Amino acid sequence: MPNAILVLGWLRPQALHRGLLILVEILLAGAIGVGLLAIGVDGAAWMLGGILAGAIAFAIYHQRYNPQAQPNRSVRKVGQMLVGLMVGFSIQHSNWAALATKLPLLLLLTGCLLLGGVMIGALYARLSKVDFLTGVLAATPGNVAIMASVAAEYGKNPALVAFIQLLRFTAVTSLIPLLAQTHHHQAVGNALQSLIPTANQWHGAYLLWLAVTLAIAAGSAQLGKHLRVPVPGLMCPLLVGGLFEATVALLPWVPPVAFHPPTAFNVLGQVLLGITIGEYWGQNPQLSKSAIAQGVLPAGLMTLTGLVTAGIASMITPWDWLTCLLITSPGGSPEMIWMALVLDRNVELVTAGHLVRLITLNLLLPLMITAATALDDRQLQQQLTPSIQKS
């Protein structure tokens, strides 16, 4: 019993500190986002604000208060849920059946990216003298936390893998708004006013629908996790939002309802996704200067691979270049799908492209790990053979 009391006494301050940290990060991200809007940075101002806020606040918290603190993955899950829900409501009337004909093209683009990642990983492993598995995990466009956890599971360097993945991830997220030429002045007052809830949104029926929708979205994400759905925190709420009107129409005892989540969810989802990226930067992994310098190579080459693949896609498809770039960019799926919505591109097509990539990567990752491990074992055996013969 005394031990339990001590544990609870330790957990409560930690939980309070993390809650305060999240609040500070959100407020700081809001201030930075407003500043970016004021100077004309649009499209990803809130997400970039979240990245900067997460890096600054978490670095201070990590260094001064809790050196063992890890980036808050729950915050990212909430951000994914909000983004997925908002995207789902925006594409409720889309014709998903028409996307089936584009599946071969999406598979081809996915194959180009994954093959490029493996080749870049092999090149990085040879030049930097790391093992092949570390190189592949670092260069393959995947989730930062998943790739780092796989590296840790196989006794590799998770900090190095996370750093390179994060470097590519941040570069892509920051580069696309610049390439999209979304630099224009926007009235900050109008942008902030759009976030204030209207009188209808304070109505009891609206709040009830909002609570029910959020609860279903959260439950669907948990169910998707058990069913091994790729990025369930994003894809399952997206499905909930996309099927909202159709589902309500099937319920004869429910009157027709015109419901859409508040606009503030747009900003909050972007901010939370940005904060989780920033927290990984604020964690400041202990890497040598040479490792950091060499890590720029695979991150840069993978970003370049996405640009080249987008150029090829724009030549062989009727899609515009920016849509192709959002499909092929080796960034996070929630971020790219959200940018498609913000930049007024084909959200359905971008969503389908990233879903194909996620499924393909999940299916091929065990095979890639097995092949890379076998090559590392073979190389180690070749290095040991001369020593054994001499002895």
Given a cut of 70, is residue 3 above it in pLDDT?
Answer: no
pLDDT at 68 (0 to 100): 83
pLDDT at 326 (0 to 100): 92
pLDDT at 5 (0 to 100): 43
- For the chain, give percent helix, strand, coil, nearest 5: 80, 0, 20
For the whole model, what pTM was predicted?
0.77
Q: How is residue 200 annotated by DSSP?
A: G
Q: How many other β-carbons are positioned within 10 Å of the β-carbon of residue 384?
A: 10
The closest alpha carbon to 267, from 78, 43, 46, 33, belongs to: 46
Per the CB < 8 A criterion, the answer to whether 232 and 225 are in contact is yes
**How confident is the prediction for the chain on average, in pLDDT?**
82
The closest alpha carbon to 324, from 357, 346, 303, 302, belongs to: 346
Given a cut of 70, is residue 188 above it in pLDDT?
Answer: no
Handedness of CA 310, 316, 317, 318 (dihedral sign): positive
What are the residues facing 41 on neighbouring strands?
183
Mean local confidence (pLDDT), 112-124: 92
Report the percentage of the chain scoring pLDDT > 90: 18
Helix (H, G, I), strand (E, B) or coil at 227: coil
How many helices (H) and strands (E) the chain has is answered by 16, 0
Given a cut of 90, is residue 183 above it in pLDDT?
Answer: no
Q: How is residue 232 annotated by DSSP?
A: H
pLDDT at 8 (0 to 100): 42
What's the rounded Cα separation, in Å, for the pair 25 and 174? 19
Per the CB < 8 A criterion, the answer to whether 144 and 165 are in contact is yes
Per the CB < 8 A criterion, the answer to whether 279 and 50 are in contact is no
Dump pLDDT digits (tens) for 263-307.
Answer: 888 888 889 988 988 888 887 666 778 888 888 899 999 999 999
pLDDT at 1 (0 to 100): 46
Q: Per-residue confidence at 216, pLDDT binned at 50, 70, 90? A: very high
Q: Give the angle subtended at the CA of 139 by the CAs of 130 and 357, to the nearest 5°.
A: 150
